Structures are given as C-alpha cells and as structure tokens.
C-alpha cells in the first residue's frame, strides 16, 4: 500500500486527478472504475479540466461505476447515473456508451447483478478503481459483514450510510434503503486501486483499514491484501 498526504481537500483532489489523467493518457485502452459521493467531486472537476485543456480523446476509455440506488431510474436527479453525467461524463468527450453503471431500476435485480459482473469481465476487468470510504469503512456499498468474496449484489444500506447520505436528499425518508453494489471480490480483482479519504470523520475508518485486523466487519481492511493500492488523504496522523 502507498500513502500520499495532501494538505487539504483541494490538494487531494488535484493529486487524484493527476493519477487518473496519467493513467488515461498513458494507456491505449483503459477500464476505469469510478465512485460517486462527495469525496471525488473535485477530482472529477480537475480531471475534466485537465482532459479538456489537453484535448484528450477518451474513446479508448471505458468506465464502470461502483454502485447505484435501487429504485432510481437513470433520469432521477438523485441517481448516480445523473451524478456521473452532471459531474463528469457531460463535461468530457467520452462516448456515453462506454460508461456503465448498475441499473438500480432493473425489474430483475438478480439478473442485473450477474450481468454487471459479466460485463466487467467482458471488458477485461478494471485497470484502475477509484474508491471513497464510508465512516463504517464500507467501500462501494459493501457494508460491514459483507463477504470478501462477494460479486455485484443487492445491498441493504445500514442506518449509518442512510444518515450519511441523507444530506443529498430533501428528507431522510427519501434515501433509498437498498443499492446495487460491486462486491468486495469484484473490487479486489481491479489491477490497481486509488482510495481517497478526506476529513476527520473518516480517520478511524482509514486507520482500521490500514492497520486493523483484516475482517469482514471492516470491509476496507481487505485492501491490505491487494498488491497495488494508493491512498491519498488530507487526514493528519495517518501513517502506513
Ligand atoms: C460511492 C461509494 C461509497 C462512497 C462512500 C463515501 O460510489 O461507493 O462507498 O465512496 O460512501 O462517500 P462520501 O464520499 O460522500 O463521503
């Protein structure tokens, strides 16, 4: 595991954008795993800016997102489909057909989850997976207790995650209680991983992830077993 410290959220975002930019411009074909949430927002802003300033053609880039809420259609403004278009896809010249997210509105969610894993496999697997981390150390929506071997699956969100995500909704009751999420097994198959963590609220989760016991109670602790993980954080007092 490698650790890069940043002095604040802005610097963390810029460093992360540089890592992803270098990967995009240094590859003939790239499968990029993407995360949503507050943490990567500014990274997308910097990345879009850098790509546009350098006129980078993105037709060789395929993206697969980590998760989507169950019950929200891609047009729903609270959906992760919408977030990704607003924050990144519509700002760069990536062909929309190269961008994949789980369909949380699928009638048959079991079929959707296995199709999502098959699609990732058909693409040849994820080259670089961007991750955030939840206060309970979830990655994607793999809540504590999720099997380390899990593939894409339907998740019951925990109360902590629902409360944390309520800030994006008008009322807490509006936060979906289920999501489709890549599994921990799916994430571990990525060739390299870039995890971003910002703010004191994530300190304990990050410490447990780096130094704690590798246990399904701390989903992100599985990353200790991954051969190529880079963490970029603005949190003080985090060491390897
Ligand atoms: C988002 C995702 C989640 C978030 C995590 C942190 O696609 O998979 O694991 O990365 O919940 O969210 P923020 O960044 O909003 O603190």
Computed from CA positions of residues 130, 37, 41, 208, in that sequence, does the dihedral angle turn out positive or negative? negative
Show Cβ contacts of residue 99 under 8 Å, excluding neighbours closer than 6 positions.
Answer: 62, 63, 65, 84, 89
| Res 238: pLDDT | 95
| Res 172: pLDDT | 93
Q: Rounded to the nearest 10 degrees, what angle do helices 80-87 and 41-53 cross at? A: 40
- Residue among 65, 126, 133 to mutate when testing ligand 1 (max atoms within 8 A of CB): 133
Residue 67 is among the residues annotated as catalytic for this protein: yes
Ligand 1 atom 4: residue of nearest CA: 132
- Residue among 12, 16, 35, 41 to mutate when testing ligand 1 (max atoms within 8 A of CB): 35
- Ligand 1 centroid, distance to 124 Cα (angstroms): 25
The tens digit of pLDDT for each residue in 135-182 reads 999 999 999 999 999 999 999 999 999 999 999 999 999 999 999 999
| Res 59: pLDDT | 98
Residue 153 is among the residues annotated as catalytic for this protein: no
| Res 176: pLDDT | 96
Q: Whole-angstrom Cα distance, residue 52 to residue 93?
A: 8
Label the pairing between strands 229-233 and 192-197.
Answer: parallel
Among residues 112, 138, 142, 208, the one annotated as catalytic is 138
| Res 40: pLDDT | 98
Show Cβ contacts of residue 97 under 8 Å, excluding neighbours closer than 6 positions.
Answer: none
Q: Whole-angstrom Cα distance, residue 232 to residue 131?
A: 10
CA distances from 92 to 66, 199, 230 (A): 20, 28, 25
Q: Whole-angstrom Cα distance, residue 123 to residue 60?
A: 12
Low-confidence ranges of the chain (pLDDT < 50): none
Ligand 1 atom 3: residue of nearest CA: 140
Whether 136 contacts 143, CB under 8 Å: yes
Among residues 68, 81, 136, 164, the one annotated as catalytic is 136
| Res 73: pLDDT | 96
Q: Which residues line ligand 1 (CB under 6 A)?
A: 35-39, 66-67, 132-134, 138-141
- Domains for the chain: give ranges and CATH numbers: 37-193+209-215 (3.40.50.1360)
First-to-last alpha carbon distance for the chain, in angstroms, is 8
């Amino acid at each position: 595991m490698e650790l890069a410290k940043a002095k604040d959220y802005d610097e963390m975002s810029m460093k992360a954008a540089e890592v992803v930019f270098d990967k995009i411009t240094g590859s003939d074909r790239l499968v990029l795993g993407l995360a949503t949430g507050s943490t990567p927002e500014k990274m997308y802003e910097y990345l879009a800016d850098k790509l546009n300033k350098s006129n980078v053609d993105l037709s060789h880039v395929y993206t697969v997102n980590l998760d989507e809420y169950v019950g929200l259609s891609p047009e729903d403004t609270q959906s992760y489909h919408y977030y990704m278009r607003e924050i990144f896809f519509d700002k760069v010249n990536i062909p929309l057909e190269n961008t994949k997210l789980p369909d949380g509105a699928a009638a048959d969610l079991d079929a959707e989850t296995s199709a999502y894993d098959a699609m990732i496999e058909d693409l040849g697997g994820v080259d670089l997976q961007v991750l955030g981390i939840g206060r309970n150390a979830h990655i994607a929506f793999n809540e504590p207790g999720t099997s380390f071997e899990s593939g894409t699956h339907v998740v019951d969100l925990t109360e902590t995650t629902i409360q944390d995500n309520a800030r994006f909704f008008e009322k807490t009751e509006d936060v979906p209680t289920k999501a489709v999420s890549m599994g921990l097994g799916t994430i571990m198959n990525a060739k390299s991983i870039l995890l971003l963590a910002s703010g004191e609220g994530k300190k304990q989760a990050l410490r447990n992830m780096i130094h704690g016991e590798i246990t399904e109670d701390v989903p992100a602790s599985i990353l200790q077993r991954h051969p190529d993980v880079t963490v970029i954080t603005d949190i003080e007092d985090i060491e390897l």
